[in-house]
């Protein structure tokens, strides 16, 4: 039996299965890369913030480490958006207009849809992280080694996955028009409460105590370690993010099976 036929037990041959995943991922990535209304705000928001606060104000003596600190924190802030909005808004919209129902009727693997969106979010996160790194190294002259830069970029690319899971869950709960508002109410407060805009040390004690509840806090801890600003163990933070991702993916998958 060749790769163009269906196996006798009804399963798609491996070659066609791989091709279906690859094609869906390619289409999903290209769809968003060709949509400047989605892509430009996600890329420009953290980079403009970093330009203003990490570069233009980072050279003062009172903020000697600001450029490095804000590189890590704005990297975390920047990669939250592709996961939250790329999954949450698009899924809610596609459930509304019937595209998700159509995709379910197509002869393609069920996981190809989610994998395509995850790869899209990871590609955008890589773009955001790479742009921030370029600004930090070539404009702000942040003294990063090659290993530190690679570690931060890898943290950005993988760190988008918990927010993909959160966006996916939100997309199963709301209609298309309501998703952007709720996601903004999650995105911005979570960034603030995790210390991505201001160090947690200067925030009220209660906010410091509840900060570990947010996935962005743990992603920021990994980013700080990547650029050499923290010696804390990375494994606990990585495990929390992995558990958060898996738990929300299971909840979202359950809702999609029940409610479409």
pLDDT above 50 for 7 = no
d(CA 179, CA 66): 34
Q: What is the DSSP secondary structure assignment for residue 50, as one 8-state letter?
A: I
The full set of domain ranges for the chain reads: 14-259
- What pLDDT is attached to residue 248? 94
2: confidence class by pLDDT, cuts 50, 70, 90: very low
> Mean pLDDT throughout 21-43?
82
pLDDT of residue 110: 67
Q: Which of 86-100, 183-197, 225-239 has the lowest mean pLDDT?
A: 86-100
**Residue with the larger pLDDT of the pair 187 and 22:** 187
Residue 122 burial class via C-beta count within 10 angstroms: exposed 0-12, middle 13-18, buried 19 and up: buried
Residue 186 reports pLDDT greater than 60: yes
- What the block records as the tokens of 156 is 């950005």
- Of 214 and 257, the one with more pLDDT: 214
Lowest-pLDDT range of 82-96, 200-214, 221-235: 82-96
Q: Mean pLDDT, the chain, as a whole number?
A: 86
Q: What is the pLDDT of residue 112?
A: 79
Q: Could you tell me if residue 228 is left (phi over 0), alpha (psi between -120 and 50 degrees) or otherwise beta?
A: left
Tell me the whole-structure pTM to 2 decimals.
0.88
Q: What are 102-132's pLDDT values in tens digits? A: 777 676 676 777 888 888 899 999 999 999 9
* Band (194; pLDDT cuts 50, 70, 90): very high
Instruction: In whole angstroms, give the CA distance from residue 49 to residue 136.
Output: 12
For residue 9, pLDDT over 60 is answered with no
Q: Is the pLDDT of residue 4 over 70?
A: no
* SS3 of residue 137 by DSSP: helix
* Residue predicted with more confidence, 98 or 132: 132
């Amino acid at each position: 039996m060749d790769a163009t036929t269906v196996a006798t037990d009804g399963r798609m041959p491996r070659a066609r299965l791989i091709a279906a995943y690859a094609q869906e991922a390619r289409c999903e990535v290209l769809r968003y890369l060709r949509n400047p209304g989605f892509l430009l705000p996600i890329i420009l928001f953290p980079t403009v913030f970093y330009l203003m606060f990490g570069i233009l104000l980072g050279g003062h003596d009172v903020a000697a480490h600001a450029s490095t600190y804000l590189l890590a924190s704005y990297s975390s802030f920047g990669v939250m958006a592709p996961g939250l909005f790329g999954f949450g808004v698009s899924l809610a919209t596609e459930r509304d207009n019937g595209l998700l129902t159509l995709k379910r009727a197509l002869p393609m693997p069920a996981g190809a849809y989610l994998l395509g969106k995850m790869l899209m979010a990871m590609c955008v996160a890589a773009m955001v992280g790479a742009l921030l790194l370029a600004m930090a190294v070539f404009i702000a002259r942040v003294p990063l080694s090659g290993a530190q830069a690679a570690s931060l970029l890898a943290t950005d690319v993988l760190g988008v996955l918990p927010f993909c899971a959160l966006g996916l869950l939100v997309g199963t709960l709301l209609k298309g028009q309501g998703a952007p508002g709720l996601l903004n109410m999650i995105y911005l407060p979570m960034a603030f409460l995790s210390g991505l805009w201001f160090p947690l040390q200067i925030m009220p004690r209660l906010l410091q105590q509840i900060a570990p509840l947010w996935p962005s806090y743990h992603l920021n801890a990994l980013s700080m370690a990547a650029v050499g600003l923290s010696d804390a163990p990375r494994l606990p933070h990585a495990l929390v993010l992995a558990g958060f991702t898996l738990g929300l993916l299971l909840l979202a998958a359950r809702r999609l099976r029940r409610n479409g």
